[in-house]
Structure 1
Amino acid sequence: MKVYIDPRTEYRYTSFYRLGLYKLFGKDKIIYSVNPFEDLKITNASQYGCGMEVVFDNENGKITKVYFDIKDVAEIEKDKYDWCDIYSKVNIEFGDLEKYEKLFVPGPNFGIRNHSLVGLLSFGLLNYYRGKSSSFQSLRRYMHDYFYIYVRRRPIKYYEDFVEVKSNYVFHASTLWYNQFAKDCTNLYRGEFLKSCQRAGMEIEGGLYYLKDDPAVLSEMPDYPYYEEIYKNFLYEKRLSMDDYIRKTKESVVVFNTPSVCGCHGWKLGEYLCMGKAIISSPLLREMPGEGLIHGKNIHFVNSPEEIYDAVIKINTDEDYRKHLEEGARRYYEEWIAPEVVIKRLLEKVGEKV
């Protein structure tokens, strides 16, 4: 099996699936070339950042075209859907699987580092020149994507390695977003989770990252500064290191998930499942693979902010229940979400065995 990847696609949001391809086929079988994708145009930032095109060419000459759509919004890219045999999409609206026969549900992913700094930058430069003749992207913007993944992400081993949970301790770090959905859902649930942990007498680290100096924030959500008052005990303005973020998240008794901007699966859900954490979550708004996440088995769902406090108390005081959720989350990840598992499931859809 040979695997071709379009080099003109954004790296950070597709690094998870690239790792799955490397694990299954080996890097020597992965070929970065524009040639199999010349009929697909990459002429603007939206097309560059929507996902990743991949072609599988097996020993019998059978060609399978796959598009990995990693966008937050739940819309289908028509040109990519017409081009591919399988349309793998992270954020699928409920009901869309019945409308689009090519759709495949990978579940949430997250950005990971797959190379050393020198390896990553040389890899990025090679891909830039491979796709330069048919790409709009400047070298500076293109390489920023590769440099980001080294600075802000870590190898998947960092997420998988075991760290002991600290008693009565919660770490949470997330951004206060600034559209209407975030105000009514994402920010509200995240803030209420921290308030519930405070009310429960837990030790709290981290908080909510506050973008108060970003002009885009005030233009899109003029009342954004009111967070300075209602969440004044939980705000921070300096980015945490990824090493601290991962270690402290693992040490936390419980973590909190809620749909992020556009109602999407955020990276945090994929990270929490990989780490095997006891997760409290508001209802998910996008499809999950298999039977999905099930309350009391691999996640603890709350249907309103008012239910969060009881969920925090339950998980913090019932060690058996916490460990049950942790084990269930990790099992679900291993069965459905892990990078190589997603690629295997995807190819099984077209009758390929890996």
Structure 2
Amino acid sequence: MIQQYKVYIDPSSKILYSSYYIKGLYDCFGKKHVTFSSKPFIGLKKRKDNELFDHFMAFVIAWGGTEYKFIVDFWDKTLIDEYAYHWCDAYAKINVSKESVFKKDKLVPIPPGFGIKIWNKKDSLIHCLKNYFISKRDPHIKFSRHWEDYMDQYERPAIKAYENNDSDILNKKPYIFMIGRLWPHVNCIKTTNPLRREFIRVCKKLDVEFEGGLFANSNHPEYEAYKDVSFTSKVDVQTYVRNTKKSILVFNTPAVHDCHGWKLAEYFAMGKAIVSTKLSNYIPLDNDAALPIHEVSTVDNIESDVKLLIEDAAYRNDLKNRARKYYNNVAKPSKVIEVLVKKVIPGFQHYARS
């Protein structure tokens, strides 16, 4: 007989960012064994700053008379929250600097995730209201921000929308789709924004059907410099997912604070042929296999590299297959949770799929 685990999630967690990992908990332990409770987190000391809401999710697994404590840190920055690190038994983090990846015993580097729908509208409302009242939130997290977080989760596609990907569609011309934000952060002004602009300009001059650009507010200080590749009306997430699936290839760059952005995780889930500039932070591999991306060495090579993937169907399909394999073996929500839990419960085998 399998001894039952009980999983408790900190109700003050930012649900949109935590949703990927809550899905992993549901898949590993069964939805009925996962709940929200503030009691196991009384001893978790938290910083009193505005960024904390976007920083980490905490959960506890009760099993065999022992409580095992876990942190999933989805912060863009490579800094580790020392309060949370001291509290937990295992500390999963997406953005880990390549220099510090093996310097902390509790640290578990994980691949990036992204926001997904995990509840229907009724359940989203119930969890939103209940968790607000039991979470003992800091005063700066107003109900309006809490509410928006849950509604953002509800508006996202479910994970299956990303996993159920058709082959890229080849019409008379190859179709390429890419949208991103025109970020105001210092590192993005220097690297992310110019690289994305160059990719867009390359696609526009090649013999392809290109759609997309950079979403920007006309008040953005760099708007005029990027006006030729920008748009000011938001694209809904369903259109973004649908068009990205159709795209013959996709483009990735490190984003805010040089982080692994959501786009990279979405591309893995979709099984896309990924053209990417060099990643700034560490990312775990699949049994030491090469990361399933085509890395651009310099900005001057973007055009030739895009042409290569368009023209070489065999190589493009190999990248797609490897990206899908990486997602299934390493980056899928249940795989991320399994690796983290095995850090402190070596004999753990997930047994639930509901």
| Residue of structure 1 equivalent to 2:330 | 336
| Residue of structure 1 equivalent to 2:36 | 32
| Residue of structure 1 equivalent to 2:74 | 70
What is the identity, as a one-letter code, of the residue corresponding to 1:86?
A: A
What is the identity, as a one-letter code, of the residue corresponding to 2:196?
A: R
Q: Is 2:330 the counterpart of 1:327?
A: no
Alpha-carbon distance in structure 2 between the residues aligned to 1:160 and 1:291:
18
Give the % identical residues: 35
Offset, 1:44: 4.0
| Contact 1:257–1:269 (8 Å) recurs in 2 | yes
| Residue of structure 1 equivalent to 2:120 | 116
Q: Is 2:212 the counterpart of 1:206?
A: yes
Distance 1:292 1:203, change over 3 A: farther
| Residue of structure 2 equivalent to 1:240 | 235
Q: C-alpha deviations, 1:275-324, integer Å up to 9, x for none?
A: 000000000011111359976x7210002111111111111111111111
| Contact 2:20–2:113 (8 Å) recurs in 1 | yes
| Residue of structure 2 equivalent to 1:176 | 182
Distance 1:62 1:290, change over 3 A: farther
| Residue of structure 2 equivalent to 1:48 | 53
User: After the TM superposition, which residues 108-147 of structure 1 pair with which residues of structure 2 at under 5 Å, given as runs?
Assistant: 108-132=112-136, 135-136=138-139, 137-147=141-151
Choose which of 157, 161, 169 in structure 2 pairs with 1:158: 161
Helix, strand or coil at the partner of 1:67: strand
Alpha-carbon distance in structure 1 between the residues aligned to 2:182 and 2:101:
31
| Residue of structure 2 equivalent to 1:284 | 279
Choose which of 291, 294, 299 in structure 2 pairs with 1:305: 299
What is the identity, as a one-letter code, of the residue corresponding to 1:123?
A: H
**TM-score (norm: length of structure 1):** 0.92
Choose which of 58, 77, 81 in structure 1 pairs with 2:85: 81
| Contact 1:163–1:250 (8 Å) recurs in 2 | yes
| Residue of structure 1 equivalent to 2:268 | 273
| Contact 1:163–1:247 (8 Å) recurs in 2 | no
| Residue of structure 2 equivalent to 1:57 | 62
Aligned-residue CA RMSD (Å): 1.7
| Contact 1:293–1:299 (8 Å) recurs in 2 | no
Alpha-carbon distance in structure 2 between the residues aligned to 1:131 and 1:284:
36
Helix, strand or coil at the partner of 1:174: strand
| Residue of structure 2 equivalent to 1:227 | 226
| Contact 1:65–1:83 (8 Å) recurs in 2 | yes
Helix, strand or coil at the partner of 1:99: coil
Q: Is 2:99 the counterpart of 1:95?
A: yes
Alpha-carbon distance in structure 2 between the residues aligned to 1:7 and 1:93:
29
What is the identity, as a one-letter code, of the residue corresponding to 1:306?
A: D
Helix, strand or coil at the partner of 1:207: strand
Offset, 1:142: 1.1
Helix, strand or coil at the partner of 2:317: helix
Q: Which runs of 5+ in 1 are unaligned?
A: none
Distance 1:191 1:293, change over 3 A: farther
State the structure with bigger RCO (CA 8 A, min sep 6), 1 or 2: 2
Helix, strand or coil at the partner of 1:273: helix
What is the identity, as a one-letter code, of the residue corresponding to 1:266?
A: G
Q: Which runs of 5+ in 2 are unaligned?
A: 350-354
| Contact 1:178–1:224 (8 Å) recurs in 2 | no
